[in-house]
């Protein structure tokens, strides 16, 4: 946002902003995406379109392998730790818990907007000797309950579903297998485990997980089915059954879909939890996915590893990616069975986002809270991340005397209005012109960055986002305004700095209120230093069509980046245009980029709580994660924005801006 211009663009008469105004990007724009194409080009994004997830097992020790983590974060939106949550890692000796390796995966998932399955709490295998040698029921019962409770408490709020009990049934039989739990506690140990788990984390789904229960005619399947039926009839808490699905070359048994739907009919979700198929025949994979797609309560599919080289059965090459991370034929078969379009037959950047948008707006949720030293008229330019169970909002506060920054946090939007406002000018960020913040976690340095404008592009860092006093003093990204900006800024203002990184580089965008979007770059390992090669990323001869408040995001589960830019419409009101690109530095293709088909404008927003604003102005998408990749979901977008009483007038800096939340209503998933 531009802090100084009083009238800047407000009620400008007939600026003649035309839909067709060209956005000149570096390179030429490709044809606009087909309006009917909403198929995604990755497994997770495509599964999400039917309300399902697509996950993989992952190993903490491989997160640093960039081939591995690139595929992990591109394709999968659910992660199961392959070994890190098992008893022999988490409680190797009695009462001594180690959650470090699992935390690495959980943190990675949170930063990339992925959900987690917890695997596994009670299992006869990978069980330390001190547990399997217990012979006394009172001791074992206490040990089992402590283990479940301590582990679930540690990960509380972060796990979608737990495999509470794993592989408790004997091969080829409808009876429990022998194990220390079975032998010492008897048949009731499974029920005891589920009851303990429900008490520990009532919000997590509780699953029973097993292998060789996919064939409806197998004795083991019947044994598990009878147990689930019994649990449901007696009110023993169970929410889901996991079918591991470690298949031979033939793939799933013919009755697999019948099995899934019969279990679902008992009132539990079903999930495919550890899928791999010897030699990975495309048809066998497709049949497995179709069985799930045909059962409404089949909520998702997890494959047991990323590349063949990551598999526990690596010699059988059972996974979707080869040792080099290339997609195998089974990959395309799975994507197609999920309803998607493999890249070989569609544009590589097939749109995960629709090409037109509709939104519903909240009322004004956040108003300024002036105090004795902050005589504030408006709260503006919000940046927001959801982290550790809370929304953390940073915003500009404006008054006739200038701009500074404020921080507030809350767990739910209904609490936003009552949150305490912490003025950041009280700490090392200091007083003076600081505005238009952007917040993100820079994972390589384990530090939060707050980027903002001071006349230069500035930043502060903090190890703890929730500590408003922890921010460092401002530092500048540039020694001075880059030449290309000086040459093009005209009578505009250098505003709205925005950082986004991919796996190799970080980019710094900024606007000039004069029709130019600039982009500089530096290496990921050099960040925050070394921003150079500043170029015009996009421009428009009508400055109001490409004004300010640009955001660039990675769209989760797709190859797409989304660019949104605030424009001033022919009615003088603020609204947003949008483009997509396959790379941050790429050319931008119009998505919803006109006044008549905008990303967000008063014309495509409904206001059930009353039309309190005609401006949809500077704000932030609610991200799927919180790290430097700025990943947003591909559906059900939400955008926190600044709006204004339409009758307000006067000096721009004293306008009564408030914050409201848009929620996308035309999402296909």
- What are the catalytic residues? 167, 274
Nearer to ligand 9MR, 274 or 620 (CB): 274
Closest contact distance (angstroms) between CB of 126 and ligand 9MR is 5
Q: Does 128 bind ligand 9MR (CB under 6 A)?
A: no
d(CA 36, CA 180): 57
For position 314 contacting ligand 9MR by CB under 6 A, the verdict is: no
Q: With binding defined as CB under 6 A, does residue 82 bind ligand 9MR?
A: yes
Nearer to ligand 9MR, 270 or 506 (CB): 270
- CB of 312: closest distance to ligand 9MR in angstroms? 4
Q: Please, what is the end-to-end C-alpha distance for the chain in angstroms?
A: 33
- Residue among 102 and 567 whose Cβ is closer to ligand 9MR: 102
- Residue 208 Cβ vs ligand 9MR, minimum distance, rounded to whole Å: 13
Listed in sequence order, the residues at least 6 apart from 258 whose beta carbon sits closer than 8 Å to its beta carbon are: 216
In contact, 260 and 275? CB cutoff 8 Å: no
180 vs 439 by CB, closer to ligand 9MR: 180
User: Least distance to ligand 9MR from the beta carbon of 86, Å?
Assistant: 7
**How many Å apart are CA 174 and CA 212, to the nearest integer?**
11
For position 125 contacting ligand 9MR by CB under 6 A, the verdict is yes
Separation CA 473–CA 475 (nearest Å)? 7
- The contact mask relative to ligand 9MR for 541-570 (x = CB under 6 A, - = no) is ------------------------------
Distance CA 139, CA 95 (A): 13
> Which CB atom, from 274 or from 513, has the smaller least distance to ligand 9MR?
274
Site string for ligand 9MR, 151-190 (x = CB under 6 A): ---------------x------------------------
Task: Name the minimum Å distance from CB 244 to ligand 9MR.
Answer: 5
- How far apart CA 174 and CA 227 sit, in angstroms, is 10
Shortest separation between residue 122's beta carbon and ligand 9MR, angstroms: 12
Using CB under 6 A as the criterion, what x/- string covers residues 443-482 for binding ligand 9MR?
----------------------------------------
413 binds ligand 9MR (CB under 6 A): no
Residue 455 is given by DSSP the state S
Instruction: Tell me how far apart the alpha carbons of residues 291 and 354 are, in angstroms, rounded to a whole number.
Output: 28
- Judged by beta carbon, residue 67 or residue 83, the one nearer ligand 9MR is 83
Q: Which residues, 357 to 396, sit near ligand 9MR by CB under 6 A?
A: none
Q: β-strand 516-523 against 589-590: which pairing, if any?
A: unpaired
Instruction: Determine the distance from the C-alpha atom of residue 258 to the mean position of all C-alpha atoms in its chain, rounded to a whole number.
Output: 33
Which token pair is 345? Answer: 């037959």
Please list the alpha-helical segments (H only) found in 30-82.
43-48, 66-75
> Other CB atoms closer than 10 Å to residue 182's CB: what's the count?
18
CB of 327 to ligand 9MR, least distance (A): 22
Considering the rule CB under 6 A, would residue 83 count as an interface residue with ligand 9MR? yes
Q: Classify strands 53-58 and 548-555 as parallel, antiparallel or unpaired.
A: unpaired
Min separation Cβ 87 and ligand 9MR, Å: 11
Nearer to ligand 9MR, 93 or 126 (CB): 126
- Comparing every residue's Cβ against ligand 9MR, the nearest one is 312
Contact 572, 552 (CB under 8 A): no
**37 vs 302: CA distance, rounded Å:** 26
Other C-beta atoms lying within 10 Å of the C-beta of residue 469: 12
User: Is residue 244 part of the contact set for ligand 9MR (CB under 6 A)?
Assistant: yes
Scan for tokens 């030429």, then name that residue: 28
Under the binding rule (CB under 6 A), the answer on residue 310 touching ligand 9MR is no
Q: Are 332 and 342 in contact (CB under 8 A)?
A: yes
Rank residues 160 and 357 by Cβ distance to ligand 9MR and give the closer one: 160
Residue-level length of the chain: 669
Closer residue to ligand 9MR in complex, CB, 240/419: 240
Strands 457-462 and 447-453: antiparallel
Selected binder of ligand 9MR within 66, 98, 126, 418 (CB under 6 A): 126
**Residue among 312 and 433 whose Cβ is closer to ligand 9MR:** 312
Tell the smallest beta-carbon distance from residue 570 to ligand 9MR (Å). 60
Q: What are phi and psi of 351, to 5 degrees?
A: -65, 125
DSSP per-residue codes, 163-213: EEEES-BPTTSSSBPP-HHHHHH-TTHHHHHHHHHHHH-TTSEEEEEESS-
Show the 3-state SS of 409-449: EECCHHHHHHCCCEEHHHCCCCCCCCEEEEEEEEHHHCEEE
CB of 80 to ligand 9MR, least distance (A): 9
**In this complex, which beta carbon is closest to ligand 9MR, that of residue 125 or of residue 529?**
125
Site string for ligand 9MR, 257-296 (x = CB under 6 A): -----------------x----------------------
Touching ligand 9MR, residues 17-76 (CB under 6 A): none
Chain Cα centroid distance, residue 63: 17
Q: Which of 312, 386, 413, 607 binds ligand 9MR (CB under 6 A)?
A: 312
Does the footprint of ligand 9MR cover residue 539 (CB under 6 A)?
A: no
DSSP string computed for 196-258 = HHHHH-TTSEEEEEESS--STTSHHHHHHHHHHHHHHHHT----EEEE--EE-TT-S-TTHHH
- How are beta strands 269-277 and 240-243 bridged, if at all? parallel
What is residue 68's three-state secondary structure? helix
**Minimal distance, residue 313 CB to ligand 9MR, in Å:** 8
Q: How many residues bind ligand 9MR (CB under 6 A)?
A: 8
User: Closest Cα to residue 117, out of 310, 338, 306, 302?
Assistant: 302
Q: Which residues bind ligand 9MR (CB under 6 A)?
A: 82-83, 125-126, 166, 244, 274, 312
């Amino acid at each position: 946002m531009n802090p100084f211009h009083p009238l800047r663009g407000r009620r400008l008469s007939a600026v003649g902003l035309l839909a067709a105004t060209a956005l000149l990007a570096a390179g030429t724009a490709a044809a606009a995406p087909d309006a009917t194409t909403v198929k995604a080009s990755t497994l997770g994004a495509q599964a999400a379109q039917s309300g399902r997830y697509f996950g993989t097992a992952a190993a903490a020790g491989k997160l640093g392998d960039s081939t591995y983590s690139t595929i992990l974060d591109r394709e999968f939106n659910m992660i199961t730790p392959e070994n890190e949550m098992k008893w022999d890692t988490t409680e190797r000796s009695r009462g001594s818990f180690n959650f470090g390796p699992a935390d690495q995966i959980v943190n990675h998932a949170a930063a990339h907007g992925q959900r987690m399955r917890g695997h596994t709490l009670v299992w006869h295998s990978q069980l330390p000797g001190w547990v399997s040698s217990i012979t006394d029921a009172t001791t074992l019962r206490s040990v089992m309950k402590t283990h479940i409770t301590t582990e679930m408490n540690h990960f509380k709020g972060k796990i979608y579903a737990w495999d509470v009990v794993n592989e408790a049934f004997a091969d080829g039989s409808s009876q429990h297998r022998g194990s220390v739990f079975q032998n010492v506690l008897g048949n009731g140990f499974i029920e005891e485990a589920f009851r303990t788990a429900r008490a520990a984390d009532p919000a997590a789904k509780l699953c029973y997980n097993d292998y060789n229960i996919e064939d409806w005619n197998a004795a083991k399947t019947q044994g598990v089915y009878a147990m689930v039926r019994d649990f449901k009839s007696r009110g023993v808490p169970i929410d889901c059954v996991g079918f591991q699905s470690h298949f031979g070359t033939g793939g799933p048994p013919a009755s697999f879909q019948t099995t899934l739907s019969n279990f679902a009919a008992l009132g539990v979700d079903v999930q495919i939890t550890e899928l791999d198929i010897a030699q990975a025949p495309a048809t066998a994979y497709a049949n497995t996915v179709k069985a799930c797609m045909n059962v409404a309560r089949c909520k998702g599919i997890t494959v047991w590893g990323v590349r063949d080289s990551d598999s526990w059965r690596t010699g059988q090459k059972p996974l979707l990616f080869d040792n080099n991370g290339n997609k195998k034929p089974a990959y395309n078969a799975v994507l197609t069975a999920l309803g998607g379009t493999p890249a070989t037959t569609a544009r590589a950047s097939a749109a995960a986002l629709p090409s037109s948008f509709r939104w519903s707006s909240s009322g004004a949720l956040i108003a300024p809270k002036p105090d004795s030293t902050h005589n504030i008229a408006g709260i503006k330019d919000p940046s927001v991340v959801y982290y550790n169970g809370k929304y953390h909002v940073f915003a500009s506060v404006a008054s006739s005397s200038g701009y500074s920054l404020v921080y507030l946090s809350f767990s739910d939007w209904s609490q936003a209005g009552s949150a305490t406002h912490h003025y950041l000018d009280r700490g090392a960020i200091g007083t003076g012109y600081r505005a238009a913040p952007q917040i993100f976690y820079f994972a390589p340095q384990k530090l939060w960055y707050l980027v903002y404008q001071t006349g230069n592009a500035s930043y502060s860092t903090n190890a703890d986002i929730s500590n408003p006093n922890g921010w460092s003093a401002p530092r500048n990204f540039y020694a001075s305004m880059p030449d290309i900006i000086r040459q093009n800024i005209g009578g505009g203002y250098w505003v709205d700095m925005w950082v986004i990184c991919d796996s190799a580089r970080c980019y710094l965008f900024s606007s000039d209120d004069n029709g130019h979007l600039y982009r500089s770059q530096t290496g990921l390992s050099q960040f925050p230093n070394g921003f150079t090669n500043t170029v015009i990323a996009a421009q428009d001869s009508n400055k109001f069509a490409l004004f300010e408040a640009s955001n660039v995001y990675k769209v989760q589960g797709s190859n797409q980046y989304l660019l949104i830019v605030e424009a001033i419409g022919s009615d003088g009101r603020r609204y947003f245009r949008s483009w997509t690109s396959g790379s941050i530095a790429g050319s931008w293709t119009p998505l919803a980029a006109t006044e008549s088909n905008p990303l967000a404008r008063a014309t495509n927003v409904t206001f059930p709580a009353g039309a309190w604003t005609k401006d949809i102005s500077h704000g932030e998408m609610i991200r799927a994660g919180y790290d430097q990749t700025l990943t947003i979901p591909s559906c059900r977008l939400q955008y926190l924005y600044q709006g204004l009483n339409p009758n307000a007038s006067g000096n721009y800096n004293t306008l009564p801006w408030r914050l409201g939340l848009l929620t996308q209503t035309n999402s296909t998933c």
